[in-house]
A = this chain, B = another copy of it.
Amino acid sequence: MHGATCAIRGTFFDLLDDPWKYSGKEHEAARFIEDGLLVIKDGIIADFGPFAAVSPKHPDIAVTHLPDRIILPGLIDGHIHFPQVRVLGAYGNQLLDWLQTWIFNEELKYRDRDYAREAARQFFDALLAAGTTTCLAFTTSSPVSSEEFFDEATRRNMRVISGLTGIDRFAPADFCITPDDFYTESKRLIERYHRKGRNLYAITPRFAVGCTGEMMDSCRRLKEEHSDCWVNTHISENPTEVRSAKDHFPDCSDYTQVHEKHGLLGPKFTAGHGIWLSNDEMRRFSKAGAAISFCPLSNLFLGSGLFRLGRAKDPDFPVRLSVGSDVGGGNAFTLIRVLEEAYKVGMCNNTMLDGSVNPRDQDLAEADRNKLSPYRAFYLATLGGAHSLYLDDTLGNFNPGKEADFVVMDWNAGQLAMAWHQSLAISGSGPKTIEEAAQLLFGIMTVGDDRNIDETWVAGNRAYKKVPR
């Protein structure tokens, strides 16, 4: 598979910096090459730039030309549940009821190796069809699910982060794992998978409400003994959950403090949601270098609330952010649909922040940061996600030395109205300028869906090609 040298010719768009730092001139954070060449060696980007400049340096290379497409770095999903691939979009209730009704039963099936293996195949197929090449994933409290997850990711040579998912209260008995078993099994899995191939390991307390202090202590020990590992959890998704966290950790003044007390809040820590975090908690996330994964598709589907994107992007205390599908709380795999909902969440926030309902809510600077331009959106889904995961040296754009994961987008695919819509954005048959490219990408993220993902490449190999359906 990999090992070979190859090159891709086409139209490229990627981000070089955080566009929130470039208000009013966001295109300066991005790069657009109308006719570019991406040279790949052993799955790593060896060279990149305009075809006319790069091509002469590689005279004998085999070039795959992908015309009428726009090529972006592979999308990075910062929050997804592997064992919920089959129950996305389940009818329900808010978070805690929904877990009881739909999720616990399904996840228990993942103790069965055959079921988990079939699910892993379905899961990664769905991810690639969605344009996602990297994810930070929850599994279940059964090691079987983590093993099948990593084994399937290994077969596909994908850059993934995951880990045994610990919960030891407020769930059915056979769904729980003891803090000791969690510690032992996590260590075994770290040895077996962490930094083997492209796998990375995340110590994963499911969410603090579902974890006793002893379980959180196991996580602390694991992080102390394996400081290179990631930490993945949930925080402040739902107001009832927030209350519950305070009830069950009475010595902590807020939900974030639970993670601070247990030595987890810091670099390589990601918590999903963060909808109900206070301003003070967001500042502590920022100072700690911890990340939030913004999951708007799920947050609307479960009615959890509106993440305060503009607040998290406070220039004085910026929080590292990824976007997450949160399948199955989220009802679609593709981050294209997640970006659509992220845009809507920002817009809904702004109808409060414009002060028209309550003059004291007016904050036009924060409102401006809520506006999800295509530069900001695709930053979150690529380089921003990589930055939030401390993987921006490895992933997120087409800089030489990074891993060659990318998606090939067809801007005209999707609902029937798409092509005529997109024709408004461009003067020719394809984008000629970075602004035209950004317009097409905005069309994709608002009117499009997974149909716009025509191909997905992993480490320099085509891993998915769309079959119309």
| A305 CB contacts on chain B under 8 angstroms | 348, 351
Kindly identify which residue among B302, B346, B442, B468 contacts A347, using a CB–CB cutoff of 8 Å: B302
Taking a contact as CB atoms under 8 Å apart, the answer to whether B443 and A89 are in contact is yes
Taking a contact as CB atoms under 8 Å apart, the answer to whether A347 and B85 are in contact is no
Taking a contact as CB atoms under 8 Å apart, the answer to whether A417 and B447 are in contact is no
Taking a contact as CB atoms under 8 Å apart, the answer to whether B346 and A126 are in contact is no
Residues 436-469 (chain A) with a chain B CB within 8 angstroms: 442-443, 446-447, 449-451, 468-469
| A447 CB contacts on chain B under 8 angstroms | 88-89, 331-332
| A417 CB contacts on chain B under 8 angstroms | 85-86, 88, 122, 126, 327, 333
Taking a contact as CB atoms under 8 Å apart, the answer to whether A94 and B331 are in contact is no
Taking a contact as CB atoms under 8 Å apart, the answer to whether A87 and B424 are in contact is yes
| A331 CB contacts on chain B under 8 angstroms | 340, 446-447
Using an 8 Å CB-CB cutoff, how does the interface string of A340-378 with B read, 1 for contact, 0 for none? 110110111111001011000000000000000110000
Taking a contact as CB atoms under 8 Å apart, the answer to whether B421 and A88 are in contact is yes
Kindly identify which residue among B303, B346, B357, B468 contacts A346, using a CB–CB cutoff of 8 Å: B303
**Which residue from chain B places its CB closest to the CB of A423 in the assembled complex?**
B86
The copy count of this chain in the complex is 2
Taking a contact as CB atoms under 8 Å apart, the answer to whether B469 and A344 are in contact is no
Q: How far is the CB of A126 from chain B (nearest CB, A)?
A: 4
Taking a contact as CB atoms under 8 Å apart, the answer to whether A86 and B424 are in contact is yes
Taking a contact as CB atoms under 8 Å apart, the answer to whether B303 and A348 are in contact is yes
A348 to B299, CA, bound (A): 9
**Which residue from chain B places its CB closest to the CB of A89 in the assembled complex?**
B446
| A340 CB contacts on chain B under 8 angstroms | 331
**Which residue from chain B places its CB closest to the CB of A356 in the assembled complex?**
B239
Taking a contact as CB atoms under 8 Å apart, the answer to whether A416 and B347 are in contact is no
Asked whether A113 is an interface residue with its Cβ less than 8 Å from the other chain, the reply is no
Taking a contact as CB atoms under 8 Å apart, the answer to whether A347 and B300 are in contact is yes
| A293 CB contacts on chain B under 8 angstroms | none
Q: How far is the CB of A277 from chain B (nearest CB, A)?
A: 14
Taking a contact as CB atoms under 8 Å apart, the answer to whether B347 and A86 are in contact is no
Asked whether A130 is an interface residue with its Cβ less than 8 Å from the other chain, the reply is yes
Asked whether A238 is an interface residue with its Cβ less than 8 Å from the other chain, the reply is yes
Asked whether A100 is an interface residue with its Cβ less than 8 Å from the other chain, the reply is no
Taking a contact as CB atoms under 8 Å apart, the answer to whether A351 and B424 are in contact is no
Asked whether A101 is an interface residue with its Cβ less than 8 Å from the other chain, the reply is no
| A85 CB contacts on chain B under 8 angstroms | 417, 420
Tally A residues with Cβ within 8 Å of B: 60
A45 to B356, CA, bound (A): 50
Using an 8 Å CB-CB cutoff, how does the interface string of A230-241 with B read, 1 for contact, 0 for none? 000000001110
| A200 CB contacts on chain B under 8 angstroms | none
Taking a contact as CB atoms under 8 Å apart, the answer to whether B94 and A347 are in contact is yes
| A357 CB contacts on chain B under 8 angstroms | 239
| A350 CB contacts on chain B under 8 angstroms | 94, 303
Using an 8 Å CB-CB cutoff, how does the interface string of A69-110 with B read, 1 for contact, 0 for none? 000000000000000011111010010000000000000000
| A420 CB contacts on chain B under 8 angstroms | 85-86, 122
Taking a contact as CB atoms under 8 Å apart, the answer to whether B239 and A351 are in contact is yes
Asked whether A304 is an interface residue with its Cβ less than 8 Å from the other chain, the reply is yes
Given A86-B420, A340-B331, residue A301 in contact with residue B446 (CB < 8 A) = yes
Residues 168-212 (chain A) with a chain B CB within 8 angstroms: none
Asked whether A415 is an interface residue with its Cβ less than 8 Å from the other chain, the reply is yes
**Which residue from chain B places its CB closest to the CB of A343 in the assembled complex?**
B301
Q: How far is the CB of A446 from chain B (nearest CB, A)?
A: 3
Asked whether A334 is an interface residue with its Cβ less than 8 Å from the other chain, the reply is yes
Taking a contact as CB atoms under 8 Å apart, the answer to whether B373 and A91 are in contact is yes
| A91 CB contacts on chain B under 8 angstroms | 373-374, 442, 446
A125 to B421, CA, bound (A): 14
Given A129-B416, A414-B469, A449-B449; 14 other pairs, CB 8 A cutoff: A85-B417, A86-B421, A87-B421, A91-B374, A94-B351, A122-B417, A126-B416, A238-B356, A300-B300, A303-B344, A303-B347, A304-B351, A331-B340, A415-B450
- 29 A-B pairs with C-beta separation under 8 A: A85-B420, A87-B424, A88-B417, A89-B442, A89-B447, A91-B373, A94-B350, A122-B420, A126-B417, A129-B415, A130-B416, A238-B351, A239-B357, A300-B347, A300-B348, A301-B344, A301-B347, A301-B446, A302-B347, A303-B346, A303-B349, A303-B350, A303-B351, A304-B351, A305-B351, A332-B415, A414-B469, A449-B449, A451-B469
